[in-house]
Amino acid sequence: MQHQNIDKFFKVSAILFGQVFVDFFGLNYNVIRLYRNELNTFKGSDLFTDLVFETREGILLNFEFQDKKLKKEHLKKYMDYKVHLQCQSGKPVVTVIICTYHIKSDVYIYDETETSLLKPIIHYLTENYDEVKYLTIKNKINNELKLSLREIQFLVLLPFMTSKKFRLNKIRDVCNLIEKIKDKKLFDDEKYYLPLISAIHQYVSDETEQKNLIKVLTMNMPADEIYEKVMNSGIYEQGLEQGLE
């Protein structure tokens, strides 16, 4: 269940934020739409990558979300996905591994002679933590200044920019800020808070606190209903276009 919650958090975040999500990781690609993530293997069995974007550059961006320490067998699996996806699509594939596990891996399986396109991009989310940015956003909220989509994304991803033992407190902090944002009407579109529901389910063990935090995000609408509504409303494409504006 742990992997499913974290997996859902990042998939929904990527879908909702679209281009802004890609930009956050310093990737110089312009996304068009989601791409089919089902892989037909040579053995006839089906595999699924976590998430694939098609880009204007003709590259497929394959995101994999890793919540355990990255090991050689994980890298091999992701590179197998890459080969299958390239053969199936006829397009070059860039594999991006987003690691939420805070301890860096020391495994290397690639020769220095290989081109960068063959190597995965490994990104540790803890490297994105920026205390100055966090305090700047809090100051804007206290001064009732409107927030940008990029600032909202930073808040949503913030719990995963810390090690596991600090995530519960960060979730509480972020939900408290979101409550203020909503009360002061500092950001117009509440659907972007949706990924945090999965983070709450993952790290908040007390059921009463779970319900109270989710209510901050969704008001009185059931979380499952919100999730289904967003996933079936065409927000896939809207999230991508939002980042291009």
Based on the fold, state whether residues 119 and 182 are members of the same structural domain.
no
Residues 26 and 116 in one domain: yes
Domain match, 31 and 21 both: yes
Out of 80, 108, 127, pick the residue that ends a domain. 127
177 and 202 assigned to the same domain: yes
Same domain, 47 and 152: no
Point out the domain boundary residue: 106, 127, 148.
Answer: 127
DSSP string, 91-157: S-EEEEEEE-SSSPP------TTS-GGGSPEEEEGGGG--HHHHHHHHHHHHTT----HHHHHHHHH
3-state helix, strand, coil in the chain (%, to 5): 55, 15, 30
Residues in the chain predicted with pLDDT less than 70, given as ranges, are 1-3, 40-46, 106-118, 219-245
**Whole-number pLDDT of residue 242:** 41
Q: Are residues 132 and 232 in the same domain?
A: yes
Residue 71 confidence (pLDDT): 87
Full-model pTM: 0.84
> What's the number of domains the chain is made of?
2
Give the Cα separation of 211 and 223 in Å (integer): 9
Locate 144 and state its tokens: 């009732």
Say yes or no: 123 and 9 in one domain: yes
pLDDT at residue number 150? 96
Same domain? 7 vs 76: yes
* Token pair for 171: 């979730």
Give the start-end residues of each E strand in the chain: 31-34, 38-40, 46-48, 51-55, 60-66, 93-99, 121-124
Based on the fold, state whether residues 23 and 113 are members of the same structural domain. yes
Q: Which of 92, 127, 162 is the last residue of a domain?
A: 127
Domain extent at residue 201 = 128-244
Which residues contact residue 92 at a Cβ distance below 8 angstroms, ignoring those fewer than 6 apart? 58, 59, 60, 86, 117
Same structural domain for residues 198 and 183? yes
C-alpha torsion sign, points 226, 232, 236, 241: negative
Given this model, what pLDDT does residue 112 score? 42
Same-domain status, 75 and 158:
no
CATH assignment at residue 118: 3.40.1350
| Pair 83, 167 in one domain | no
